Amino acid sequence: MASTDAAPRPPAPSAGDDAPRTPPPLVADPAALRAFLDGPYASVRDDVRARLVDHAPILDERVDLPRAELRRRVRDLVVEIGRQGQAVHGFPTAYGGGGDIGASVASFETLAYGDLSVLVKSGVQFGLFGGAVLQLGTARHHDTYLPDILSGRLLGCFAMTETGHGSNVQAIGTTARYDPGTDELVVTTPDDSARKDYIGNAAEDGELAVVFAQLEVAGEQHGVHAVLVPIRSAGEVLPGVRIEDCGAKLGLEGVDNGRIWFDGVRVPRANLLDRFASIEDDGAYRSSIENPDRRFFTMLGTLVQGRVSIGGAAVGASKVALEIAIRYGLRRRQFESATEGEETLLLDYGMHQRRLLPLLARTYALSCAQEEVARQLHEVFSADTPEADDRARRALESRAAGTKALATWHATRTIQECREACGGAGYLAANRFAALKADTDVFATFEGDNHVLLQLVAKGLLTDYSSEFEDLDQFGMVRFVTGLAVETVIERTAAHQLLERIRDVLPGGRDGWDQEAGLLDPDYQLAMLRFREEHQLAGVARRLKAGVDAGRPTGEVFSRVQDHVIAAARSHVERLVLEAFVERVRALPESPARDVLTALSDLYALTTIEADRGWFLEHGRLSAPRSKAITREVSEVLRRLRPVAGELVEAFGIPAEVLGARDLVG
């Protein structure tokens, strides 16, 4: 439960209190709110904002460039980012970096205010390609490649995804066979299903690829490893390599996605990225992690920064859409007011507030959740090794997966709602929404399909991060849960025990807590989300066990409960998001900014409960009058936030030159 050290909030009305209330008006200082959102990396974010202003005229949405020209301009900007040393925040100081992964995530999130092709191509170059060399390689790889990667002199690819294997990386088909006669690795694409697909930087610009392949040494298979494979020299594709442009996409046309095939391409043994496993001079395979499954998941765990960064980028894009739509709603009038004699501002309509302000509150909440996951990322990777604290690493991977899923889904929903809220003007490409919609849509499957990521979250929840369960696939998960002792997950999270635990910490005590607790009490809000999360988790465990006890095949059992698995994971992450928001706000001193942020936190919490009111009603956590009271309270909070809506989006700090959409925002 969140800390309660800060000053208490004023008492909130109970569900039955319908007396007129006139709370003091909210006063919003955009500078104070911006400081809250920017967090500890305000200077990093300001640097990115200034850089975006410099680049804004080059990537004007009103200019319809041919694909080849757009790609060239995007490439030039990415190279310029590297040349100016603006992509090194998270890399070691020995290579000119800042040694601060949190700063790197903040920079990436802010870069999302601008052209998203630049964001994604720089993410491929410095985050995926450079990050893989850093995290999976050793000193000789770092010394040889990182200076040129970080300066933009060496452009590269992250070649993991295959046509036949997307999320199931462990089953990829590309092979890397060690040939002791020549001391080389032979990289081969056995069939079209194993071709590397949708690889950023591959179609035109990449010279070197980090290729994930099944490693074979002395006839023995050792699972997926990463190998550095040159694919171009002086702009020409190298022998044994075949590359094909993926062609037109829904968006991100400035990124040169391609497909790659390898026909017995030979590279030196030293090109194996060997942080976790190596081929020694005597030709023997050795690894510090004996279990191949654990080795695989440890390797992938070092690349978690990509998921954190994509989640941050989604939040950044959501801010752009919301600022455009809310500023438009503050200047566009429609239909005459009965009292003022002039047409009414769009944002003065209750429905317009209902459409946009809850999304704004959720964006603030996700900003806090992003800051928390970035903080954990920094702490884990600032340790001597990320595997030094397995529990912290697994918690980070779970939180990163869940936050990325919710943030990217939120971006898709927010951009669409904002586009509609701007009417036909929002349909014009010059007003940003066409690019925002097209370029962010893939975020839901970048760095892992969101539903698969939520299954990863659920796996950790079901076993409380049990080390025995870490490496299991969905069928192993079913088998493991069926063998759990009764004192573990199933009984520990049984619904009746959860109810006993939650009742004791809420206002109103054990009798009628859900009817008497103040709707604006964050402990009540958190307890509601916690109850839903743990009740759903207990239900998943019971269903898994009952299915296997009934003799059904494990695959069928998992398929039957998969919707419950996703629901439990999503509920868990929504609770974490609220917890992060509440804790950040509670840590603030009393101030007008704190009052505004408290109202936003209430709006996020209450609309989250309201959206799932059917579940809470079915499970006895809401009565019909209480459910109606929540809707009334949401409307009241919306009315309080309406006068400061402009300041709330101004706090994003998006420069006017970057925001664009001049037809809508003036």
Q: Which residues are catalytic?
A: 447
166 within 8 A of 451, measured Cβ to Cβ:
no
453 within 8 A of 409, measured Cβ to Cβ:
no
CA distances in angstroms from 484 to 26, 207, 329, 651, listed in the order given = 52, 50, 55, 49
> What's CA 133's distance to the chain center, in Å?
22
173/587 Cα distance (integer angstroms): 50
356/649 Cα distance (integer angstroms): 11
601/581 Cα distance (integer angstroms): 7
Q: What phi, psi does 179 have (nearest 5°)?
A: -105, 105
**Which SS3 state, helix, strand or coil, does residue 553 take?**
coil
Of 289, 286, 264, the residue nearest 177 (C-alpha): 264
603 within 8 A of 361, measured Cβ to Cβ:
yes
SS3 sequence, 589-642? CCCHHHHHHHHHHHHHHHHHHHHCHHHHHHCCCCCHHHHHHHHHHHHHHHHHHH
118's CB contacts (< 8 A; 6+ apart) are 55, 59, 74, 77, 78, 81, 111, 254
> What's CA 115's distance to the chain center, in Å?
18
81/310 Cα distance (integer angstroms): 19
Helices marked H in 487-612: 489-492, 495-503, 513-516, 522-549, 554-586, 592-611
Q: Which residue shows structure tokens 């049990």?
A: 466
CA distances in angstroms from 225 to 169, 243, 299, listed in the order given = 11, 22, 8
457 within 8 A of 569, measured Cβ to Cβ:
yes
257 within 8 A of 203, measured Cβ to Cβ:
yes
Q: What is the CA radius of gyration of the chain?
A: 26
314/317 Cα distance (integer angstroms): 5
Beta pairing partners, 285 = 279
